[in-house]
Amino acid sequence: MFPKQNDKLQVMSHAIVGFPSLDANEHAIDGLVASGVKMIELQVPFSDPVADGHTIANACHEALKTGGSVRETLKLCKTVSSKHPDATFILMSYLNPLYRYGLEQLFRDAAAAGFKGMIIPDMPVEEYEQYMPLLDELGLAPILLVTPNTSDERVARIAKSARGMVYVVSRMGVTGKQTQWGDDFKAYVKRIRQHTDLPLSIGFGVRSADDLKDLTGVAEVAAFCSRYIEWQRDLGSDTAAANMKQLLVDSELA
């Protein structure tokens, strides 16, 4: 489940459905869970992932060639969520594949497959609002994003529909590049806290044990995604899982 405010930092990691192959996904997720990761995003690959940097964008293009899709994502979640009942699986997708599936049906099927939350970077809060009663009924948490340039007025509106946790985009730009965790960043996190009691997940630019140490005590969740996908791409899923285990030891989160 989702952590509570002030719980110790935990790492959320990532799978792109179909990358490196549909068969490899389940084994890679087993490896992440065995390494101590309790929260995993399952990303539906998309042809035009505009909020992602090249690591994830290229992995999406690969995943599409091996058959990654919305249906395969639901299928995978069903398998891994029953196998790993203590882990929390989060659906990550751009809007169009879900829109084509039919949003209402998708929400129902995602909840039935065992998803606890979802991140849709190009779905603005205005679009979520009409679905809130259904999502609350299903127990499927919209994890909404805030960014450094989001106004207070808008953070308040986002906080109203956010469930589970708020995804705090650490900096301007797309995924996959280093972030500096200085005073500006801390002031930004403090500003977001004024609007919500939900735990915060920090994403974009979390790439090392040092980053995780810097975020310990600042937030409840850190999204360690692009770097993990690089490991998976370059070293294979088993070494990626071993690296993840070491990362949690090095960052004193094991």
Q: Which residues contact 104 (CB under 8 A, 6 or more apart)?
A: 131, 134
52 is annotated as an active-site residue: yes
Binding mask 30-49 for other proteins (x = CB under 8 A): ----------------xxxx
Q: Looking at 23, 149, 183, 197, which residue binds other proteins (CB under 8 A)?
A: 149
Number of residues that bind other proteins (CB under 8 A): 41
Region near other proteins per CB under 8 A, out of 107-115, 143-151, 194-202, 224-232: 143-151
Closest CA to 118 of 191, 21, 204, 201: 201
41 is annotated as an active-site residue: yes
Q: Looking at 3, 31, 97, 199, which residue binds other proteins (CB under 8 A)?
A: 97
Q: How many CA atoms lie within 13 A of 214 on its CB side?
A: 16
Q: Looking at 22, 24, 51, 134, which residue binds other proteins (CB under 8 A)?
A: 51
Strand partners, 131: none
Q: Looking at 96, 178, 194, 239, which residue binds other proteins (CB under 8 A)?
A: 96
Distance CA 45, CA 43 (A): 6
Cβ 43 to other proteins shortest distance, Å:
14
DSSP 27-69: HHHHHHHHHT--EEEEEPP-S--TTS-HHHHHHHHHHHHTT--
User: Residue 40 corresponds to which amino acid?
Assistant: I
Catalytic residue, chosen from 23, 48, 52, 136, is 52
Strand partners, 41: 14, 90
- For other proteins, which is the closer residue by CB, 69 or 216? 69
> Where in 176-235 is the site for other proteins (CB under 8 A)?
none
Cβ 35 to other proteins shortest distance, Å:
30
Q: Is the sign of the CA dihedral 55, 56, 60, 61 positive or negative?
A: negative
List residues near other proteins by CB under 8 A. Answer: 46-51, 53-54, 57-58, 61, 64, 69-71, 94-101, 121-124, 127, 145-151, 154, 158, 169, 172-174
The residues that are catalytic are 41, 52
